[in-house]
Amino acid sequence: MKRSVFTLLLSLAASAVLTAQVMPAQSGRLTVGGYGEVALTRNFYSDNVYRYSHPADYKNDPSHGRFDIPHAVIYLGYDFGKGWTMQTEIEFEHTGTGSAVEKEFTEAGEWETEIEKGGEVELEQFWIQKSFAPQFNVRFGHIVVPVGGLNNAHEPLNFFTVYRPEGEYTILPSTWHDTGISLWGRAGDWRYEALVIAGLDAFMFDRDHFVKNGAGSPYEFKVANQLGFAARIDNHSVENLRLSLSGFYGRSMHNSYPNDMWNTRYADIKGHTLIGAFDFAYTGKYLIVRGNADYGYLSDASTISTVKRNLTSNNAPYKKTPVGQSAMAAGMEAGYDLLHLFARVKDREQKLYLFGRYEYYDPYMPAADQPDYPYTDKHRIAVGFNWLPVPQIAVKAEYSHRFLPSQYNNEPSISLGIAYMGFFNR
């Protein structure tokens, strides 16, 4: 797995360079870019796995630190002419490599997993596009699914916090990417996108993340026994303001491997999955405000939780914790550039945003016959600053505090980070 991914990366890079050498006629046909983040955090709460089931026992535990490179991404794109373009996005998460799971039919159907290091290397985008007009474009391949504000703008200079906004990042796949077909276009102040992709897998849903893991695959292919349908529409009628609606629908049950439709007892369980999201962004000269509200619903959640717990093999790569009937996340952040207040600052490209963020999220809202886990209900605030010495780089610092129900311990932390995003040949 590791070798094949790095071979793919080197092949893409070599092909892009060779293409640029063989076909240099038009300037700007090759696009190279990317983004990356470094994050340093001290968490002033326990990291014990039982801190929610026995909170009093871990109230006075020492703090713990985590240093990470959450994402490092390379973009490679090319314009072939006549409306044909391609785009790739290769992402290294947490500096690591991925793992693969296989079901060995020659060994009594055992599940085998090989893990070399935590983290992932993923091909998040690989699509070929034909543009017929600004109002109508077709993409085919591996595509970012722009449901929610974070998936639509997941690069680190599109949010103030050191890490990605926690609510959406908890309940939705992020970055949500899948293989399928996308139709999109822009007319006047409106932009639309409609996608047909591989469906989500209900066996990968869980208590602490709702459907977040359902878009991934532990195999060397993506199961597509069921299809998913996503859409997004953006409006730019008001200057500096974008208003957006997005959503997803698909059946998530019986989208596993091997195909579980043989189990006639649960053949009628569909696992209808619906997600609706609203997000906005105001980008003024000195003030930036962003916000989101997301709601997800899963039918048959109680039955799916039972099937996951009782009918899947103990070593199968599925989530055993129950999944709730619904989940939600809502948040808002605002940042104000302080540097423009000082007349002596001559470099007007520099920015120093003082920001605040508030969010509420709950990845597990149970059906009436499901147990409750109150600790999943969280409020979070973050305050800090973003210094942009140049438009492509941000130095970030924040203090954050998660507020849990009264029977649990709150979770404060401080974080420092630095991030970049941009294109290198523009």
At residue 6, the pLDDT reads 44
- What is the rounded average pLDDT for all residues in the chain? 89
* pLDDT surpassing 90 at residue 257: no
* pLDDT surpassing 70 at residue 3: no
Distance, in Å, from the CA atom of 270 to the CA atom of 255, rounded to the nearest integer, reads 10
155-179, pLDDT tens digit by residue? 999 999 999 999 999 999 999 999 9
Q: Is the peptide bond before 165 cis (omega within 30 degrees of 0)?
A: no
Query: Of the candidates 319, 355, 353, 326, which has an alpha carbon nearest to the alpha carbon of residue 339?
Result: 353
At residue 208, the pLDDT reads 96
Residues in the chain: 426
At residue 20, the pLDDT reads 39
**The whole model's pTM is what?**
0.87
CA atoms within 13 A on the CB side of 198: 22
> Which helix (H) or strand (E) is 2 found in, with range?
helix 2-22
The domain locations on the chain are 2-20+28-104+117-423
Query: Across residues 289-304, what is the average pLDDT?
Result: 97
At residue 63, the pLDDT reads 97
At residue 349, the pLDDT reads 85
At residue 100, the pLDDT reads 63
In contact, 145 and 197? CB cutoff 8 Å = yes
278-296, pLDDT tens digit by residue? 999 999 999 999 999 999 9
Q: Highest mean pLDDT: which of 100-104, 311-315, 356-360? A: 356-360
In contact, 329 and 157? CB cutoff 8 Å = no
Q: Which CATH class is domain 2-20+28-104+117-423?
A: mainly beta
In contact, 279 and 241? CB cutoff 8 Å = no
Q: How far is CA 377 from CA 95, 372, 402, 408, in A?
A: 31, 10, 10, 11
364-387, pLDDT tens digit by residue? 999 999 999 999 999 999 999 999
At residue 12, the pLDDT reads 44
Banded model confidence at residue 17, pLDDT cuts 50, 70, 90 = very low
59-87, pLDDT tens digit by residue? 999 999 999 999 999 999 999 999 999 99
DSSP 188: T
More confident residue, 121 or 421: 421
More confident residue, 244 or 2: 244
- Residue entry with tokens 């630095």: 418
Query: Across residues 183-206, what is the average pLDDT?
Result: 96
Distance, in Å, from the CA atom of 386 to the CA atom of 241, rounded to the nearest integer, reads 21
DSSP 216: -
At residue 30, the pLDDT reads 94
At residue 108, the pLDDT reads 55
328-337, pLDDT tens digit by residue? 999 999 999 9
* pLDDT surpassing 80 at residue 263: no
Banded model confidence at residue 122, pLDDT cuts 50, 70, 90 = confident
- Residue entry with tokens 């499901």: 370
At residue 133, the pLDDT reads 97
Distance, in Å, from the CA atom of 186 to the CA atom of 268, rounded to the nearest integer, reads 40
* pLDDT surpassing 70 at residue 362: yes
